[in-house]
Amino acid sequence: MSDAEKRARFERLVLPHLDAAYSLAAWLVRDDAQAEEAVQEACLRAFRYFGGLRGDDARPWLLGIVRNTCYSQLQRARQDGDPLQFEDEGCGEDAVAAGAVVSFPVNPEVAAIRQADRERVHESLRALPVEFREAVVLREIHGLSYREIAQACEVPIGTVMSRLARGRRLLQQALGEREQRGESKDTGT
């Protein structure tokens, strides 16, 4: 592929997904300036490894690169002890396996979720551990299928399912919390 052909193909297949790339980066690194940087770096990598794209659907492929770039950036921020970045550990999938998802939503929780305003939704989503956050963002905001999320995050579909379930359960609890506080939680059957 000549340079001109590569550029034409890149422009046609990759650049239309720039907003998607920026949206994902903004949710993952939680800072607009860093998101911008992550997207620039991701596009540089995408261009370099463009030959590795199979087929014509560049979206999950590009989002995977954006995601990896964001993870490197978060890692660097963590090493530098950047106080803006939270520790995202200690909330792994073991909790799901141990049945943490099985708590039973009571009606006030549903009511509170329905009443949750924009600020509260954003705040709760931003507070999710990054691997759950990315699953929820890719599903609800980007509308990716499980298979596409698995491809972007380089994990099996089963992991996508458990991360989504765990992420959503944490969100349900965060958003439903106000009304639910003080009520007993049923653990299901």
Partner 1 sequence: MKCPETVRLLNAYVDEELEAAGVLAVEAHLRECARCRAREESLRALRSAVQRHTEFRVAPAALRNALQAEFGARKAAPVLPARRQFAWGAAALATLVLAAWGLQVVFERPGAAPARGAGKVVYHISSSQNAGAALRTLRNHLEAAPHTKVVVVAHNEGVDFLLRGARDESGELFATAVRQFKARGVDFRVCNNTLVRRRIDGGGILPEATLVPSGIAEIGRLQDSEGYAYMRM
Q: Which residues bind partner 1 (CB under 8 A)?
A: 4, 7-8, 10-11, 14-15, 18-23, 26, 33-37, 39-41, 43-44, 47, 73, 76, 79-80, 99, 101-102, 104-107, 109-110, 113-114, 116-118, 121-122, 125, 136-137, 139-141, 145-146, 161, 164-165, 168, 171-172, 175-176, 186, 188-189
Query: Measured between alpha carbons, how far is 80 from 125 in angstroms, rounded to an integer?
Result: 24
CB of 157 to partner 1, least distance (A): 9
Query: Measured between alpha carbons, how far is 38 from 44 in angstroms, rounded to an integer?
Result: 10
CB of 83 to partner 1, least distance (A): 14
Query: Kindly report the CA angle at 130 between 127 and 132, in degrees rounded to 5?
Result: 90
Residue type, 185: K
Tell me whether residue 35 or residue 130 sits nearer to partner 1 (CB atom): 35
CB of 56 to partner 1, least distance (A): 16
Query: Measured between alpha carbons, how far is 121 from 171 in angstroms, rounded to an integer?
Result: 8
CB of 127 to partner 1, least distance (A): 13
Tell me whether residue 26 or residue 65 sits nearer to partner 1 (CB atom): 26
Tell me whether residue 66 or residue 91 sits nearer to partner 1 (CB atom): 66
Q: Which run of H or E residues covers position 71?
A: helix 59-79
Tell me whether residue 40 or residue 57 sits nearer to partner 1 (CB atom): 40
CB atoms within 10 A of CB 122: 11
Q: Is there a contact between 160 and 149 (Cβ–Cβ < 8 Å)? A: yes
